[in-house]
Structure 1
């Protein structure tokens, strides 16, 4: 392949005065800045931030494409398998960004940023679908839900109702108080309910696979961010009485006085703290983020306004604490910060809120491309599948099924029973390894994946922007 020659600096691409100049040349051919920028702007119309990096990334792709297409044309082997493979790889690389709803990603990013700016103190009432014997009893859960709502509507205290009726055994003893949360702390439906609830109010009922949930917004604060701190903990031993607690307070007060007089916090933590994990590390705690500790602990820590500040002794259920603020990493407050946007988007894509990012594809397949589900009864399909996957004797009805029988048609592509078996073979266990996946779920996922595969393989036909981009690459433009 011919050596490429650069004439100008990449950064000069951003200057209007250089657009008539040659950007690079190869084999006596010259490519101008203007020609490249036209292709870049056409294929990246929404880039407004970090434009230099976007240009640099696209330039590498553009040069490789021009050189490969040129070489294939000159040598007359543009149909060679290697070139086909490279173009297929290029297509795969580019098509990925068209397989998700970018408008949805932008909306979720804005939403996550806004929610990240505050922490919300939350209480929770949970009503389980399962009874005490482990059997599903939705009717009883519905009745209990209605009772809870009646009491809340007539003005009963939320925390008291939680103590009496919530099935959340980890929080009902303290009135359902689950501490502070921020964006990504809770499953997305719960997060939506909490952030939609004004201070002092309770949410609408949210249903999950486990039961009903009601949340109360106990209060809000500016986002705490992440805090590095040291701690001296005088922990309460089991069964300690009030006199014993008071004696430990006297020790905590004396340690605080010594700190105010200039004693070293690390040495006192090592000597006196019986939180042995942190005591062996000079009192240093793991970096603290929202919801890691009891609300009373977080609130005391948040009152320390500068690095080096030391709290007065304060009491929690665990004992007497003295904490020292070391450093704070605040949440990003610049909505246009590119690094923060990318970090939020990575979290979004790993979260349940991204589960619907491909719904638009399913709509296109169902409403424009067309699909047909062949009427093989599910019980018969499950029996046949179980026999094949687990090497069991085939039931008489299953012997009528052939691996070449059609199961699903999408557009002009037909998927067979054999295709289903191949998919089920590799997807029949849950991702967490906890056991077999329900075959109904496996089948639904098979249909969804088949729709995605068909759409991606015919993307030029259904996405004009992608089709134009691939045509330009094939034309070397």
Structure 2
């Protein structure tokens, strides 16, 4: 599960070194300038994915929200949130992921896109046996691995059990536990050669050896099923590990049972997730996970999630290898039509270097052309001769400062190549291969360093992540956790606003459905003897007195629509289909409209209190920072939109 990034507004804040002029500056906050280009890009993005046109804002309306966001980001930087090692590391990780599509050259065809769509509609259940083999393996090692995997295949064709051979021979560490069975997957969830072979193999058949970046695989297809689409859920989790005692397991289950009862009584899911979930990556986002398919998540979690029928439905307390969970369905979507997925599939293929042949070579060739790559052939020949008389790692150049090749404004010396050989080379790679790898790494590293300047959309995306993470961390400390911890402030806020959330007219009492007159007489006798009996006590008496289920009883507060029997007998709603006159009855009284207690609406009041704290915070930031708006530039933006 990847961390969900909190992005109140996806904004751009990089403002230096991009050729801006005074006429381009829209907003100045202290000494930080925000250009028209930056604002317009973000404004268009945030007005492009709205469900209703009425939600769209004019540039002037959006500018106020934009400035508030900028103030928070600047405050986070003033407080040093951008220097925290965790932030620096997380942002670096995101940059590495975002950079990947820009550091390869993918070629693909319409047929590949159509094939990917057909595969997205079907999930494959497969098992495999893996014989590890390095991508740069020498011919003798490759032949040895091939012979081994073919011998295993012959045993399978002669009737040997696939699972037993997976345990015995497979070099995938998980095979000892799963006997090689990988479960269901669909397009883009496996390395491409593996996926391609599996989808081209009939159920029950075993493939020829399939070569991937891991080695040789034998794949058996166990089954196929239609894809179930995707679901978005939130969860509250109590983490377990192999060392957790049985007593602790039961205690955590009881904690989630209690939280589930709170949720069913109206508590806010997001608030409880922030307060109680052990999955800290998602807790502060209300427990929300990314969209996933039935094959993209462990079955113990995916199956109960996909069983939820409606948005807002809650699961029972679910156990997975990682712990206990309560799952809330947020939204479901079936596999979309092809025209809606075409661009997405094209992008996925573009980002998958294994799908396109020679993508790396093409990418390096393009960079060489773009940056006027030139190499000193005489120097290279001398280098090859020198390397031939030694091992790659022990090679030392005669003239370390001699330029081996140059491109753009870069000059690369033979010493740099020697350092690369010492660090990266091995005896299985020829000098020519090592040189090619060095050139590719050098060009790619240079290209990587220029992505922000070369591609505005990459710069914008990086700034989104940068500001989103900063704002998440600062908001967590300043607003979310502060509101939940401030019990005195929350109580005072509730006392001032306790009329905001209230119960409509309710019924307080019993809803009882008896199977026959004998059961009803028994229930009425119990009430006559003990009018204050509890629901669990009455249930126990009925179980002890009657052999079979004799009555369905419910006790508590009922709003309109919560119980069809109560609706009919208390508020004259239509008679339920299973209604038995004289045997189905209610016992209790109407309760007039009344405010909800803080406990009953805690999540709602915390959310409102957080909003109040945020408003106060914005006022403080407006006082701390000087904001100046170029009205002429804003008017020009208004005219252009």
Q: TM-score, normalised by structure 1?
A: 0.50
Higher relative contact order (CA 8 A, sep 6+): 2
Bigger Cα Rg: 2
